[in-house]
Amino acid sequence: MAAHVATSPVRLVKTIGDAAMLVSGDPDALIEAALTLVEAADEEGEGFPPMHAGIAYGEAFSRGGDWYGRPVNLAARITDFAKPSSVLVSNELKDAAQGDYDWSRAGMREFKGIKGKVGTNRVRRPEWTDEPSKE
């Protein structure tokens, strides 16, 4: 599933057990990939484990085909904190995103190996409705 959503400018770096690491310099493309991945897992039905994703934004570096740096470590910690069937992102990623998404605050958290508290936000596709306004 991760390989399917990893289309340019998103790249699949590696899989580790049932986890996948995706990278992109485009915050919106990464959000779209994560949302699509979580949705695909949900569509598999009840017997398939729910997926959850964490995304962080910032300067990282590549070496030997892998990626390193604070956003890599933070994304892993945020993923561990994310609830099933959700995509959770850092404040930095939310601030960098340009797309039309529904956001909800998930609070400030301390994560192992990350200095200071980190603001987190849940991201969803926008809820569109054709219902008339009740004003």
Per-residue confidence (pLDDT) for residue 4, from 0 to 100: 86
d(CA 70, CA 32): 22
Per-residue confidence (pLDDT) for residue 114, from 0 to 100: 92
Q: Whole-model pTM? A: 0.88
Residue-wise pLDDT for 89-102, tens only, equals 999 999 999 999 99
Residues 6+ apart with CB under 8 A from 124: 35, 87, 101, 102, 103, 104
pLDDT for 113 beyond 60: yes
Residue-wise pLDDT for 6-34, tens only, equals 999 999 999 988 889 999 999 999 999 99
Mean pLDDT value across residues 32-37 = 96
Higher-scoring residue by pLDDT: 5, 86: 86
Domains of the chain as residue ranges with CATH: 2-124 (3.30.70.1230)
